[in-house]
Amino acid sequence: MKILGLGDNVVDKYMHIRTMYPGGNAMNIAALSVLSGVEAGYLGVFGDDEAGRHVYHTAQALGIDLSMCRVYHGENGYAEVELRDGDRTFIGSNGGGVCIDNPITLTELDKEYIAGYDVCHTSVYSYAEEALPDIREASPFVSMDFSDRITEGYLKKCCPYLDMAEISCASMEKEEVVEWMEKIQSYGCRQVVLATRGSLGALVLANGKLYEQSPCLVEATDTMAAGDSFITSFLIHYVDGLKTARDFPIEGGERGVTKEEEFLDLLMKTSLYQAAVFAADNCKRDGSFGFGKQF
């Protein structure tokens, strides 16, 4: 498995302890993949300030491929955070820093690079909407996290290019969440819709079925990137498992799992279980994936 995070990176500035941690949805997916033992790359934009250098050097030290990234003069993206009983709360940001004026525009070399990964993941915070047609053309599996930006116009614009869409719905009733998931599929998302719901667990709509996963509740050190860690683990296990999904020849009999449909059902359940465990463990880390630095 090789996973590419395309789009946003930030530092999360914990104001109460004057410490900044690398983060951002696309960067988190890459970093958490590496921490899971999976090869990963990141394609995005860095500022050349102290924050940008900290994220860049951390990613480099983790072994994330950064060979196609861009660096611009100015502020890297950052968010200001408070931690309240282990639960992170955003209190401010600079809106993405240099990414605002320098969104990713893909070249032919970029598309060749994307094609070398099994998954390309981007997000609502990545300013990559205009690049989605090129990402779709290059990548075998496209994933996008919409967070809580759940509006019909935006979803209709993005979903036709996606194999998997993720939404964050901790404040919604289950019936409303399922309604949005069904809309996302109707807007063109091809395979999987994943809704993370915080301490309520997760819902997945795929292959005509609705799956539900309970959370592995822990006493959290920090809930930053809880959803991103769930998404990362799910992508790793589910997409890798798809490579072997098939029916066995009927001559072999029907003992055990022999049908693609049966395998996909088991794959979904085990992928969700692995994701719940990984997300719980990640809540015991500081920041999205550690590596804090005083500012």
Q: pLDDT tens digits, residue range 209-227? A: 999 999 998 988 999 999 9
Chain mean pLDDT for the chain: 96
Give the dihedral sign, CA 285/287/288/294. Answer: negative
Determine the structural domain holding residue 175 and report its residue range. 2-294
238-253 pLDDT tens trace: 999 999 999 998 888 8
| CA distance readout (Å), 165 to 18, 64, 98 | 34, 24, 26
Contact predicate 70/45, CB 8 Å: yes
Q: What is the pTM of this model?
A: 0.95
Q: Total structural domains in the chain?
A: 1
- CATH code (residue 65): 3.40.1190.20
- pLDDT the model gives residue 254: 87
- Residue keyed to tokens 């100015």: 74
- pLDDT the model gives residue 88: 80
- pLDDT the model gives residue 24: 97
Cβ atoms < 10 Å from Cβ of 249? 8
- For residue 105, give the 3-state DSSP assignment: coil
Count how many Cα atoms sit within 13 Å of the Cα of residue 278 in the half-sphere of its side chain: 26
pLDDT level of residue 295 (50, 70, 90 thresholds): very high
- pLDDT the model gives residue 140: 98
198, two tokens: 């915080």
17-30 pLDDT tens trace: 999 999 999 999 99
String of DSSP letters for 4-56: EEEE--EEEEETTTTEEEEE-HHHHHHHHHHHTT-EEEEEEEEESSHHHHHHH
Cβ atoms < 10 Å from Cβ of 125? 23
- pLDDT the model gives residue 155: 98
Task: Please name which of 46, 23, 235, 278 lies closest in space to residue 143, comparing C-alpha atoms.
Answer: 235
Q: Which residue did the predictor score with more confidence, 109 or 95?
A: 109
pLDDT greater than 80 at residue 86 = no
- Report the pLDDT averaged over residues 87-108: 92
Residue 77: DSSP 8-state: P
The rounded distance, in Å, linking the Cα atoms of 165 and 99 is 22
Task: Please name which of 224, 161, 180 lies closest in space to residue 13, comparing C-alpha atoms.
Answer: 224
